[in-house]
Structures are given as C-alpha cells and as structure tokens.
Structure 1
C-alpha cells in the first residue's frame, strides 16, 4: 500500500464524499485527509477498521501475557491439567 496516493485535502473530501466511500469499500486502503497541509484524519472502511481493532486486541493480550511471564506469574501446563483432573468429579 502506497500511502502517498491516498492523501487528499479536506476540500476533496467535501466535494467527493460519495465517491470516496465507494472507493474505500472497493480498495480497502485508508484515506488520509489533510487540513492546511497537515494530516488530520484517516478514513477507512468498516471491515478494515474491525480487523485493525481485532489485531490490536490480540496484541494487547500478547503484551499482557509477556508481562505476566516477566513477573513470574505463570503456572506450568502440568499443574493446570492436574488441577483440572482433580476438580473433575467421577461419573
């Protein structure tokens, strides 16, 4: 994805909103909107946004897991399975 082709001024957004929405759905690439020459917002289609949010959630889970490992807050798989077997009631 080449972002330089996806940068437009806010006046372009105002004049071509329907076309932009249609293109975002087809291309799945974000559009950067500038105001007074500065990048101000990023517009993307809903599927890309949802995928980004899911990716961020997974990265947060990984970071939390890494932090817990570093802090020694871990239990061996063997201990977890033993605890599960001990809790299971006989049939």
Structure 2
C-alpha cells in the first residue's frame, strides 16, 4: 500500500469528515492526517482496527510461547494429553 496517496491535512479532515469516514470504511485503507506538515494521526475503519488488534494479540501469544520453549518451560503433547485425561477422570 502506498501511504503517499493516503495523506491529508487536518483541514481536509475538518471540512470533509463524513466523506473521509465513508471512504475509509469502503476502501479499508488508513488515512494519515498531518498537522503543520507533520504526520500526527492515522485514521482507519473499525473492522481493520479490530483485526489488527486480534493479530497483535496472537503474535504476542506466539512470542510468549517461543520464550517459554527457549526457557525450557514446555511439555510433550503426550504428557499434556495424559494430564488432561487424568483431570477429566477426576471430575
């Protein structure tokens, strides 16, 4: 994606807020808002934001799991299955 075509000054956002919101919801591409020539904010549709947050959460879980493996905190699938079977029988 080329962000250069998705950059608008804050004055454009103020004058065209409804149109901007419609566009980002249809195109599902973020819009960079500038103030005094500097990038200050990124606007994106809610569905894309939620998807990004879910992706970040999964990546965090993977990173934590990788750290556990590196630290030796893991068990084989067979061991875990046995533990689960024992818990199931106990309840």
Query: Deviation above 6 Å: which 4+ runs of structure 1?
Result: none
TM-score, length of structure 1 as denominator length: 0.93
- Over aligned residue pairs, what C-alpha RMSD do you find? 1.2
Residue 80 of structure 1 is matched in structure 2 by: 80
TM-score, length of structure 2 as denominator length: 0.93
Alpha-carbon distance in 1 for matches of 2:89, 2:57: 35
Structure 1 unaligned blocks of 5 or more: none
Once the two structures are superposed, residues 28-87 of structure 1 have per-residue CA deviations (whole angstroms, 9 ceiling, x without a partner) of: 000000011110000000000000100100010000000111111001111111222233
1:25 matched to 2:25? The reply is yes
